[in-house]
Amino acid sequence: MSPIEHGEVYVLDDGGEVDLDLGNYERFMDIKLTRENNITTGKVYKHVLEKERRGDYLGKTVQVVPHITDAIQDWIERAASIPVDGQSGPADVCVIELGGTIGDIESMPFIEALGQFSYRVGSENFCLIHVSLVPVLNVVGEQKTKPTQHSVRDLRGLGLSPHILACRSTQPLEDNVKAKLSQFCHVPMENVVTLYDCPNIWHIPLLLKEQKAHEAILRVLNLKGVAKEPALEEWSLMAKMTDKLHVPVRIAVVGKYTELLDSYLSIHKALLHASVARRKKLVIDWISAGDLEQGVKKENPDAYKAAWKLLKGADGVLVPGGFGHRGVEGKILAAKYARENRVPYLGICLGMQLAVIEYARTVLGMPDANSTELDPNTKNPCVIFMPEGSKTHMGGTMRLGSRRTYFHAKDSKSAKLYGSRGFVDERHRHRYEVNPAMVPRFESSGLTFTGKDETGQRMEIIELPNHPFYIGAQFHPEYKSRPGKASPLFLGLIGAASGELDNVLQQSCQETVVPRPLSNGKFERVYWKGSPKKPVSVVYSVCDGVYS
C-alpha cells in the first residue's frame, strides 16, 4: 500500500499488515490485535470464493446477500471472540469501526450486514454510534447541522438508526444545536456528544467521560449495573501535563513520504510518548530526504538550503523505514551527518541499513557499497535479499510480525534501554537484511551488532559505542509504543537529544515499575531490578508483560 495514499502500514504481532486505525486502537486501549480484527472487502470476497470453490454452497448462486453479508457477520463474531487484552476469554464488548462515508458504494455490503446483525443479536446487544461533522461557517460562526441530518437520513434508509451522535466540530456544540440534532435525528439530547478540537488527542477520553458518553453506551447495551466507572486519573494527569511542557526537544525526521504525515503516524506517536515521559515538548522537523541530495542543490537551492538548516538545527535525527530508490542518498547523508557530528541518531529498518552502507562507504573505504535492492550489481553488497523472500510476489511476503532479538552485548546502550534483558520481542516488516558475510569487517572497525536473531546470522541492532547515541534497529519499535509506556529506543533518542541519556539508562535498569497481579484481583507495584522505594512520577513498563 502506498503510504502517500493510505498513510502508514501498521504491523501487528501476528504479521498482519493493516490500516493505521488499528494502531490507534492498540495505543489507546493498550491491547494486541490480530489480522482477524482487520476485515476488508478483499478478504471477505476471497473467503466466500474459496468456500464456493470447495463446494460449500452446493452449487447455489453466490450473491452479495446472503453470502457476502453472512460472511461479514460470521467474521465479526469470530474476531469478537479473540482475546486481545491479555485476559482469558472473549471481551465483554466488541468495537466495530465501519470506515468510509455513508453512501460509498464500497461499504454497502457492510452496512447491510450490520443491519442484519443488529436484528440478529437484538437491540440490547447492538449500539450504533454515528460520527458526523458539524461544520462552522467562519463568516458568521454558525454551526450547521444539515450534513448530520442528511447522513442520518441516508443511514436510516439503509436500515440502520443511530443511538448516539458523535459530532466533530472546532468548538463545543451549542445547546440549541444539540436540541436541533436530537429533534431531527431522533436521538435523545443526552446522546448527542460533541468532539471539539483539543490541545492534544489525549483529552478526548476525558471529554467523552465529561459528557457521560460511556453512560449512554451502557444504557443502550443494558450494562449500567455491570460496568465500572472509567478510571482515568493517571490518564488525566498525563493529558494535562502534556499541555504544560515547555522545554523543547527538536527531532529531524528524514523520510520519503513527508508530504502526508500519516505515513509516519506511529513514528510521531512514539516520539511523543517518549518526549512526554522525559518532560519535554516535542518539536518535529519533517525533512524530505531528497532535498538533502546534491542534485537538488542545483535544481532547487532554496529547498536544499532549508532542508540542511533544519537538519543542522536538530537535537536528534531519526531515519525511518521505506522502500525504493527515491531519497536514499539523502537519508545516507543524514546518517553521515549525525555520525560525524555526534548528533543522536536512530535508524529504523531502512534507516539502519543505510547507516551500515554509509559506514562502509566512509569508514571502510567502499565507495560503491550498497544494498542489492538499490543496486543489484554492487561489488560490496552490505544489504542483501533475504533467502526466504519472494522476488515475484510483493504482497505479504516480507519478514513480518513479532520476532525475537537476542542481545549480544549486555553493556550496550540498546540492551540497557530494554532493562538489560537477554532478549526482546519487536515487530518487523522487511525483505532485505545486513549481509552477514560482511559483519566481521564492520565489527573490526568499530561498528557493533548488539542484537541478533536466534540464529545469530540476522542482524537486528547496530550501535556505535564511541558515539553519544547512534543506534539502528531492523525492527519497528514504534509499533509497540504506548502512552505511559514509551518505546525504549525512542526514550533513548529523546534522552540523548536532551542531554539526559544517563538518567534514562539508569531508570531503565533500576526504576522501571511494572504492575504485578495479586490473588485478590488488585495490582501491586514491583520495581524491576531494585527494592521498593518512592515511585517515579511516570510509570514505564519495558518488560512487556514479563515480571521480574
Check the CA dihedral 492-496-498-499 and report its sign.
positive
Residue type, 306: A
What does the DSSP assignment read for 61-120? PP-IIIIIHHHHHHHHHHHHTS--SSSSS--S-------S-TT-GGGHHHHHHHHHHHHH
313 near 285, Cβ under 8 Å?
yes
What is residue 179's three-state secondary structure? helix
User: Among this protein's residues, is 476 annotated catalytic?
Assistant: yes
Residue 368 C-alpha cell reads as: 560503491
Q: How far is Cα of residue 182 from the mean position of the Cα atoms in its chain?
A: 36
Check the CA dihedral 531-535-539-540 and report its sign.
negative
Please pick, among 476, 509, 511, 543, the residue that the annotation labels catalytic: 476
Please pick, among 373, 463, 478, 511, the residue that the annotation labels catalytic: 478
User: Among this protein's residues, is 543 annotated catalytic?
Assistant: no
Beta strand spans in 259-309 (E): 281-288
Sequence-distant (6+) residues with CB within 8 A of 483 are 27, 28, 202, 235, 238, 273, 276
Provide the total of helices (H) and of strands (E) in the chain, helices listed first. 19, 21
Residue 285 C-alpha cell reads as: 522537523
Bridge-based pairing state of the strands 281-288 and 164-169: unpaired
Q: CB-hemisphere CA count at 13 Å for 455?
A: 5
User: Among this protein's residues, is 509 annotated catalytic?
Assistant: no
Residue 94 C-alpha cell reads as: 466488541
Residue 265 C-alpha cell reads as: 503516524
Cα–Cα distance measured from residue 73 to residue 127, given in angstroms and rounded to the nearest whole number: 15
Please pick, among 127, 167, 185, 349, the residue that the annotation labels catalytic: 349
What positions carry a catalytic annotation?
A: 349, 476, 478
